Amino acid sequence: MNGIYDQGLARNEANYQPLTPLTFLERAATVYPEQTAIIYGDLHVNYSTFYKRCRQLSSALAKIGISRGDTVSVMLANTPAMLEVHYAVPMCGGVLHALNTRLDASIIAFQVRHAESRVLITDTEFADTISEVLAQQDLPLLVIDYIDRSLDTVGDMLGFCEYENFLGGGDSNYRWIMPADEWDAISVNYTSGTTGNPKGVVYHHRGASLLAQGNVVTTSIPKHAVYLWTLPMFHCNGWCFPWTLSVVTGTHICIREVRTEVIWTAIKNHSVTHLCGAPIVMSIILSADESIKHKLTKKIEFFTAAAPPSESVLTDMDKSGFNVTHLYGLTEVYGPAVANDWHLNWNELTLARQASLKARQGVRYHALEGLEVFDVETMEPVPRDGTTIGEVMLRGNVVMKGYLKNKLASEEAFRGGWFHSGDLAVIHPDGYIQLKDRSKDIIISGGENISSIEIEEVLQKHPDVSSAAVVAVADIKWGETPFAYVELKADSVISENDMIDWCQQNLAHYKVPKYFVFEAIHKTSTGKVQKFELRKRASRLIR
């Protein structure tokens, strides 16, 4: 009871509105109608047109019956249409379901059926996969084909209507609807599902609004920034940057393919200021010939997640004109919710020390109330000693609404009032967290926890090794034991015994892998090693 401060002071239409990122676009289009919103090849779209097209598309969706809580699936590359659906779908109350375009038909079919999608907007480039999906699909699904006119060839048309024609049937002055409640869903993003079926992570308008603004604070992205789309927008709604750019009335530079020359050309032609991406994007940038690289007059801000950037990559990125910031998050927290907030006096440290500080995942976004590393048994925070491993847990307004139609999984994920990330980490004395492993990737050998990341780091320091991945395999004596996949640099002639010697010099004896396989290590589009695949194969190999 707050006494006098609760009397006659209730919410009303004048002093309360649901938080939503949709009003950011309305504002941008009103205040800066002529400002360029999207550049895609020769296409330039200003904010006035962008907003009109979003309303038009939203109106067209409403006309075919999309209303509050209806799912609209999209199979789109980083094209202008992908930006339009981020506004148009929720503007009529719909929930956006952006598909990972690299998934196979069976998983797509599962997701579309599970989300009870009513509409699918699909780029004709993906017609082969989608026609397989439609063959499996038994739900009534209206398909709209998007033709990317920058491509030389057009794939098969599968739907009842082409995107531009469909959009043309809508009203560009459509009075779009605010969410009835800021807790209403805005999108659903499926996790990759390392075990069992993919889970549908539901985002709401409140969280999307707060993370979109949180990105402004965390990345210090200024008014009219120029943002290059090297991060797939199907990945956690592009970490909410489709909405963040409207906050600052910035310019989206869309590119379809994340290739060296495309990136450098965009940087040169459009004076890019910010971009995000997995570590692989940095490799792609750095692989450019010196003839392609341009002297950058101003540092470009690069935000990366998924794996800590190495010292050599950081040094090379710095030389090439990029400042790299390490972020961390999961699908369940709208993309990044943890940032390696840099201290100015760290710039005075050696590059090696800077790299080790940058390898840490960091501290909470403002919109995240809590970030802790807990002992999973006791649910007590682990000591801040940089060595005791616990599970990363998060709580706050940018934690998902829950898993769609999966109450059990939601309850499991939220038990104890915290979201359980499944990632294992230490917390340093200064409060910065550092990931050590996925909880499934920890190796429990003779009762000791072994971090597979620690072993990988030792392996990767060997001058002949370009990449390494370590998993647990069953062991009669120890319960589990480490199994190492090692990818060697070209022309290396190192032997297994050399590798064992190296590990024995650099690791406690019980941490030295019992098995080694030398081969190229496959990584996903987001730069992650799929440990569950390696684990499955390892257990077959030792049989």
Residues of this chain that bind a second copy (CB under 8 A): 1-9, 11-17, 19, 23-24, 27, 30-32, 68-70, 95, 115-116, 183-185, 188, 202, 207, 213, 216-217, 220, 222-224, 247-248, 341, 343-344, 363-364, 366, 369, 394-397, 399-402, 404-407, 410, 413-414, 417-419, 431
Comparing CA positions, the residue from 424, 432, 467 lying closest to residue 449 is: 424
Looking at the Cβ atoms of 410 and 451, the one nearer to a second copy is 410
Nearest distance from residue 281's CB to a second copy, in Å?
24
Q: What are phi and psi of 493, to 5 degrees?
A: -125, 30
Nearest distance from residue 195's CB to a second copy, in Å?
21
**Could you give the C-alpha distances from 401 to 175, 190, 314, 346, 398, in angstroms and in order?**
27, 13, 36, 37, 9
Distance CA 193, CA 180 (A): 31
Distance CA 404, CA 186 (A): 13
How many Å from the N-terminal Cα to the C-terminal Cα in the chain? Answer: 66
Distance CA 271, CA 227 (A): 9
Comparing CA positions, the residue from 475, 477, 482, 465 lying closest to residue 516 is: 482
Nearest distance from residue 98's CB to a second copy, in Å?
16
Looking at the Cβ atoms of 166 and 403, the one nearer to a second copy is 403
Looking at the Cβ atoms of 129 and 354, the one nearer to a second copy is 354
Look up residue 210 and give its amino acid: L
Number of residues that make up the chain: 543
Nearest distance from residue 368's CB to a second copy, in Å?
9
Nearest distance from residue 249's CB to a second copy, in Å?
9
Nearest distance from residue 409's CB to a second copy, in Å?
10
Looking at the Cβ atoms of 229 and 418, the one nearer to a second copy is 418
**Could you give the C-alpha distances from 485 to 425, 477, 505, 523, 535, in angstroms and in order?**
22, 22, 19, 13, 10
Looking at the Cβ atoms of 143 and 404, the one nearer to a second copy is 404
Looking at the Cβ atoms of 28 and 130, the one nearer to a second copy is 28
Residue 62: which H helix or E strand, with range? helix 47-63
Looking at the Cβ atoms of 343 and 353, the one nearer to a second copy is 343
Looking at the Cβ atoms of 58 and 218, the one nearer to a second copy is 218
Distance CA 488, CA 491 (A): 8
Distance CA 60, CA 77 (A): 21
* H-helix segments, 95-194: 105-114, 127-136, 163-168
Looking at the Cβ atoms of 134 and 185, the one nearer to a second copy is 185
Look up residue 199 and give its amino acid: K
Nearest distance from residue 200's CB to a second copy, in Å?
9
* H-helix segments, 240-322: 241-247, 260-270, 279-286, 311-320
What's the token pair of residue 87?
A: 């506004």
Neighbours of 415 (CB within 10 A): 12
Looking at the Cβ atoms of 101 and 434, the one nearer to a second copy is 434
Tell me, letter by letter, the H, E, C secondary structure of 144-169: EEECCCCCCCCCCCCCCEEHHHHHHC
Nearest distance from residue 299's CB to a second copy, in Å?
14
Q: Which residues make Cβ contacts (< 8 Å) with residue 30, sequence separation at least 6? A: none
Handedness of CA 79, 107, 104, 141 (dihedral sign): negative
Looking at the Cβ atoms of 5 and 543, the one nearer to a second copy is 5
Nearest distance from residue 343's CB to a second copy, in Å?
7
C-alpha Rg value of the chain to the nearest Å: 24
